[in-house]
């Protein structure tokens, strides 16, 4: 039921983004610009989709490790992948001391799970297994596809707004031309609204990966405990918000950057306290059944 509800919310948010594109395109009146924006933006995001694993792994400086190097992690991943009826993903380790983890790959056949040195040193085996369940759920839920589509649609809105500078109607005497004040508002509010919808989709996906990952492992409380430790660790050792890391941040189990105040409103991750609360509720419901 929770997965179905989250799926409906994601579909609704993607529908809002699509509607926003049509509204901006109609307002600007540039059908040629609309087509160009769609082609360029979708091309950029198709590249991100097919090479998402390489982009994220490179951003974190992760290297692929063998089973001889991390036998315990391999055993956990193999067990959970087999339980889900999915192929074994590649396993990577990032040398950063911040406790974090992420999964990437456009489908289970091209998946990779990456953990940091910091998280390997911090979590107990039960908590580490819960984190891996969360990350595998991102792959099984096709989150890379959904986030790529959301990013593509948001990019189209932003590109359309930028094209407004070059469209000829700015100096037109046509009464049907957009009002300059309204046009300026559209150029500002359009990309902002697209970004907010994209963030809502990312947060929704994170809640769903928590729930489905906890179901896969059968241990919601282990993931809740792991998230609390990870949140404390990322707060103590934030990563620099540079270009490469920014593009990969939404894949990680916790926001890798220092975030507070107004910046928290634009985080790709929901509040950690809310995630922990939901997991504890899930554990309580599981015990009743």
Interatomic CA distance for residues 90 and 105, integer angstroms: 10
Instruction: Give the active site residue among 69, 135, 206, 274.
Output: 135
Sequence-distant (≥ 6) Cβ neighbours of residue 90 within 8 angstroms: 64, 111, 112, 113
Long-range Cβ contacts of 35-38 (<8 Å, 24+ apart): 36/163, 37/156, 37/159, 37/160, 37/163, 38/156
Where are the alpha helices (H) located in 52-107, listed in sequence order? 52-59, 71-83
Cβ pair 223, 74 in contact under 8 A: no
Q: Running DSSP on this structure, what letter comes out for residue 165?
A: T
| Whether residue 67 lies in the annotated active site | no
Tell me which residues are annotated as active site. 135
């Amino acid at each position: 039921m929770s997965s179905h509800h989250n799926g409906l919310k994601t579909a609704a948010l993607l529908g809002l983004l699509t509607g926003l594109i049509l509204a901006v395109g109609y307002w600007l009146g540039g059908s040629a610009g609309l087509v160009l924006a769609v082609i360029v933006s979708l091309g950029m995001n198709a590249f991100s989709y097919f090479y998402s694993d390489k982009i994220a792994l490179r951003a974190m400086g992760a290297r692929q490790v063998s089973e001889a190097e991390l036998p315990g992690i391999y055993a956990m991943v193999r067990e959970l992948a087999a339980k889900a009826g999915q192929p074994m993903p590649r396993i990577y380790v990032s040398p950063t001391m911040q406790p974090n983890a992420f999964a990437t790959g456009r489908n289970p056949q091209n998946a990779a799970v990456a953990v940091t040195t910091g998280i390997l040193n911090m979590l107990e085996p039960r908590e580490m297994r819960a984190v891996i369940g969360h990350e595998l759920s991102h792959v099984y839920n096709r989150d890379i596809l959904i986030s790529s589509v959301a990013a593509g649609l948001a990019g189209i809105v932003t590109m359309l707004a930028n094209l407004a500078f070059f469209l000829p109607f700015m100096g037109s005497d046509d009464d049907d031309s957009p009002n300059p004040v309204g046009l300026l508002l559209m150029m500002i509010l359009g990309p902002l609204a697209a970004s907010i919808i994209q963030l809502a989709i990312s947060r929704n996906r994170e809640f769903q990966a928590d729930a489905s990952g906890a179901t896969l492992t059968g241990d919601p409380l282990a993931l809740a405990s792991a998230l609390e430790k990870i949140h404390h660790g990322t707060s103590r050792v934030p990563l620099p918000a540079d270009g490469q890391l920014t593009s990969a941040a939404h894949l990680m189990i916790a926001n890798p950057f220092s975030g507070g105040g107004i910046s928290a409103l634009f985080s790709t991750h929901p509040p950690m306290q809310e995630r922990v609360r939901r997991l504890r509720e899930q554990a309580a419901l599981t015990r009743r059944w």
